Amino acid sequence: MRCRLREDAVAIPARRGAVPARLAPLAARLAVALAAALFPAAPAAAQDALVAMREAARETWGRATLPAAGPARSIGGAGLGCLAGAEALPAEGPGWLVVRRSRNRFWGTPLLVDTIARLAGRARAAGLPPLRIGDMSQPRGGPMTFGHGSHQTGLDVDVWLDLSGAPLPPAARESVQFPSLVLPGGAAVDPERWRPAHATLIRLAAEQPEVDRIFVNPAIKRRLCGEFAGAAWLRRVRPWYGHDSHMHVRLRCPAGDAGCEPQAPVPAGDGCGTALDWWFSPASRAPATRPPGPPPRLPAACAGVLAAP
Ligand SMILES: [Zn+2]
C-alpha cells in the first residue's frame, strides 16, 4: 500500500529493496556518518548529490531494527521527520491483527498504539470483525525504503478496509491481498463490495479525538458525502488517490511534544460539494509541480535519534 499525500510536506518516490537485519551493526556506523553528512548547515550541494543523500537516508532509516531508547518523541512532520521511544503494536489484540508484520513497520507513538487499540475496541463493540492493521512507522520513523512518503513520525497508520471477517491465520497475514472498493475509472465505489460497515469504520476512526485526518479514495469520500453530508466527522475524511482498499489515519501531534510539527488544519466544512468535485475533473490529473528551492531536510534532532542506542 502506498500513500503519497499532497497534504504531506514532501512525497518521496518509492524504492524497493530493504537491507537485511544482519547488517545492523554496519548500519549503525553508516547512520552516524550519514547523519553528519545530512544535518550540518552546509551550503546547497549539487542536485544529484542531494538525491543520492536522500536515497541513502531512506536506506539508513530502513535499517534500524529497534526504536531509539528514551521517552516517546515525534519529531518533525509526517512527511519529513523521525520517531524516538517508539512503542510496538502487538501482533494482535482485542479487535485487531497486524498484516505484513515482517516489514517491521508496526511502531508508533504510545498515542498511536493506544488509539488503534481503542478504535479496534469500538469497532468490535459495533459488531465489526477484527481490523487488519497495515503499516505504521519504522522503529525510528524516518523516510521509508519503499511505499510511503509519510508515516515518518509514529502518528500514521493504514487500516485495511476489509470487513469480510474471513479467517486470517498468522501464516496468511504476510501475503494477503485486499481488493479495491472503487470501480475502475475511480468514479464511484463498487456496489458489489461497499458495505455500510465500511462507512461505520471510517466514522468511528474520524470520531476519535486524537485523529487529525483520514485519507480515503475520492470515490469513497463521494459515497460518504452522499449519505452523511453535513456530519461533523466527515470534515476529517480527506480525499486522495489510492486509498481504495485502505484508509490512512493520521493523528494530531501529542500534547507537549514540542518537536512535532502539526499539519495545517483541515478546511472548514464537510469537504463535499465543489471541493470534492475537483477530484473528478481533468485538472486533478495534471502532474504535480515541485516548489522551487532546495529540498527540505530532516530536523536536526533526527541525527540524535539515528545515533541513539
Ligand atoms: Zn498510509
Secondary structure letter of residue 148 according to DSSP: B
Q: Give CA separation, 87 vs 5, 114, 136, 230, 231, in Å.
A: 24, 10, 11, 36, 33
DSSP 3-state assignment of 13?
Answer: coil
Q: Which protein residues have their CB within 5 A of the ion that is ligand 1?
A: 3, 158, 248
The predicted-structure confidence for 274-289, as pLDDT tens digits, reads as follows 999 999 998 888 887 7
Could you tell me the pTM of the whole model?
0.84
pLDDT of residue 143 exceeding 80, the answer is yes
Span from the CA of 77 to the centroid of ligand 1 (angstroms) = 14
Using the 8-state DSSP alphabet, how is residue 295 labeled?
Answer: P
Give the whole-angstrom CA distance, residue 120 versus residue 126: 10
CATH architecture, range 22-281+300-307: 2-Layer Sandwich (3.30)
- 126, 163 in Cβ contact below 8 A? no
Phi, psi of 201 (to 5 degrees): -65, -45
The three grid cell numbers given for residue 297, joined into one nine-digit string: 531536510
Gap from CA of 243 to ligand 1 centroid (Å)? 8
Q: Using N-to-C axis directions, what is the helix angle for 47-63 and 24-38, rounded to 10°?
A: 140
How much distance in Å is there from the Cα of 159 to the middle of ligand 1?
8
Q: Please tell me the distance between residue 258's alpha carbon and the centre of ligand 1 in angstroms.
A: 24
In the block, cell 475533473 appears at 281
The DSSP-derived string for 246-265 is: EEEEEEPPPTT-TTB-PPPP
C-alpha grid cell for residue 234?
466527515
In the prediction, which pLDDT does 287 show? 83
Going from the Cα of 156 to the center of ligand 1, the distance in angstroms, rounded, reads 7
The tens digit of pLDDT for each residue in 208-266 reads 999 999 999 999 999 999 999 999 999 999 999 999 999 999 999 999 999 999 999 99
Domain ranges, ordered by start, for the chain:
22-281+300-307
Compute, in angstroms, the gap from residue 116 CA to the centroid of ligand 1.
14
Q: Which ranges of 127-167 does DSSP label H, i.e. alpha helix?
A: none
